[in-house]
Amino acid sequence: MAAVLTLLPSVSARAQSCNPSDLWNALDNVGGALASGACVSACADTGGTGCEAAIAIAGILGGVAAGSSQGNVNGFCSQVNNVQNASGNVSAIQSWLTAAGISQSITGEILNALNSIGDPLNVAQCGCSLEQGIDQLGSDVLACLQSAICGLQEDLGWGGCGCTPPPPVAGNCTPAAAACGDYNANQNSAVCQNAIYGQLGINPPPVVTKQTNGGTLVLNVTDGWDGHSAQCSPDTYCFCPSPMQVVAVPNLNADGGNQNNGYVIYVCECPKGTKAAGASGGLAQVCICDSTNLPAVPPVKSVTNPEGSICPTPLTGIPCPNGQVRLGANCVTPCSNPNEGMTLDGACCDPTQMTSCGVCCPPGTTPDPVSGTCLPPQKTQ
């Protein structure tokens, strides 16, 4: 979500020096937010409702922060993140929003996003993680990014910035942008107008990519000041959070069907073994593992992920699909009759017919409390 750079508020550039490492650190924080335990838990449901709610909350909080109320947002998120137990229900979250000075209308929007969510605390914590990372990227760092762009353009031969360009704006690198390269795509749509286009084999390159620990920054340096343009317009960029991969999709509209012309559209794609949680919006930048139904994480080795896998097996085991529960190594459907118990193989059984060894005795037989087996029908004399 993290992944949700389209939620960034517009921020005015500040004429001051900056440390480029602050920029890359902020991007790492944004790209790594999904690896947090809260976001993993929030996105564990296969329907993606937890992810959707966290993204919505991040956007709502980002709007509050853009209105010069970042302190209120920080106060709420501090309370959410300091909860030491599972008592963070919707009522508690509402009280924290009120205590932080968040308006009733905004509180209502957040509570609506949490409606019918089974794990509201983790969703709220994930939303805060995303907003906090986005806030770092959306303040002085965007001005720093523009300074870095000017330096990159000068190094690449475009010429240094002869003006003070506005901060770069978020483009569209979701899979939906790939359709903009088809002949039948609507080139006038907002998606296509906001996509990042380029041409391979051009020197200096019109698009620059920068790898960070949290993902890859894709930057179109020809949209803004190129050292020659009379206009001083903002560049466009997008960020593909790790482990998403930047892919240059052929732009058939521009190259006339001849891919040798090198016209491409830059898209963030999920790696093999994963799929996007949604077709558009923030979920389009969340990769869900086929093997676990949990969000893919950056390939960083840790105590809980010693192999640095993008789809590590959770310590608690692979979550079961909605409507099923874990029984040993298997996922089974709970018994529809609440008066029945479940055997080790997932079968439903009348408790009076279950042996001490967990076997359900067939009709007509009875459990033997001594041997743990089923006694045959007793013959009447």
Which pLDDT band holds residue 263 (cuts at 50, 70, 90)?
A: very high
Within-domain flag for 98: yes
Q: Which residues are CB-contacts of 84 (< 8 A; sequence separation ≥ 6)?
A: none
- β-partners of residue 349 are 341
Answer with the one of 140, 163, 187 that is the final residue of a domain.
140
Which pLDDT band holds residue 272 (cuts at 50, 70, 90)?
A: very high
Whether the per-residue pLDDT at 262 is higher than 50: the answer is yes
Within-domain flag for 381: yes
pTM above threshold 0.75:
no
pLDDT > 70: what percent of the chain? 66
CA end-to-end span of the chain: 74
**Which pLDDT tens digit goes with each residue over 14-45?**
233 455 555 556 555 555 555 566 776 776 65
**Which pLDDT tens digit goes with each residue over 165-203?**
666 677 888 888 888 888 666 667 788 888 999 899 887
| Residue-range definition of the domain harbouring residue 330 | 324-381
Residue scoring higher pLDDT (246 or 319): 246
Whether the per-residue pLDDT at 360 is higher than 80: the answer is yes
Residue scoring higher pLDDT (228 or 112): 112
**Which pLDDT tens digit goes with each residue over 36-73?**
667 767 766 545 577 777 777 877 887 776 665 778 88
Mean pLDDT calculated for residue range 348-375 = 88
Within-domain flag for 319: no
Whether the per-residue pLDDT at 13 is higher than 50: the answer is no
Amino acid 134: pLDDT: 52
**Which pLDDT tens digit goes with each residue over 294-341?**
778 878 787 878 888 988 887 767 767 667 777 766 778 888 888 888
Q: Which amino acid is located at 60 in the chain? A: I
Answer with the one of 140, 159, 193 that is the final residue of a domain.
140
Amino acid 87: pLDDT: 58
Neighbours of 101 (CB within 10 A): 13
Within-domain flag for 36: yes
**What is the crossing angle of helices 49-64 and 120-138, to 10°?**
50
Report the mean per-residue pLDDT for the chain. 74
Which pLDDT band holds residue 266 (cuts at 50, 70, 90)?
A: very high
Whether the per-residue pLDDT at 85 is higher than 70: the answer is no
DSSP state of 195: B
Q: Which amino acid is located at 285 in the chain? A: Q
Q: Which amino acid is located at 377 in the chain? A: P
Residue scoring higher pLDDT (292 or 62): 292
Instruction: Name the domain count of the chain.
Output: 2
Amino acid 46: pLDDT: 46
Amino acid 24: pLDDT: 57
Answer with the one of 140, 170, 188 that is the final residue of a domain.
140
State the Cα–Cα distance between residues 60 and 127, nearest whole angstrom. Answer: 9
Which pLDDT band holds residue 5 (cuts at 50, 70, 90)?
A: very low
Instruction: Give which of 317, 310, 360, 313 is closest to 335, Cα–Cα.
Output: 360
Helix ranges (H only) for the chain are: 20-32, 37-42, 49-64, 70-81, 90-99, 104-113, 120-138, 140-156, 190-193, 252-255
Whether the per-residue pLDDT at 138 is higher than 60: the answer is no
Reduce the DSSP state of residue 280 to 3 states and report it.
coil
Residue scoring higher pLDDT (56 or 231): 56
Longest dimension (CA), the chain: 109
Within-domain flag for 157: no
Within-domain flag for 238: no
Amino acid 329: pLDDT: 67
Within-domain flag for 148: no
Amino acid 277: pLDDT: 75
CB 174 within 8 A of CB 284: yes
Within-domain flag for 283: no
Amino acid 4: pLDDT: 35
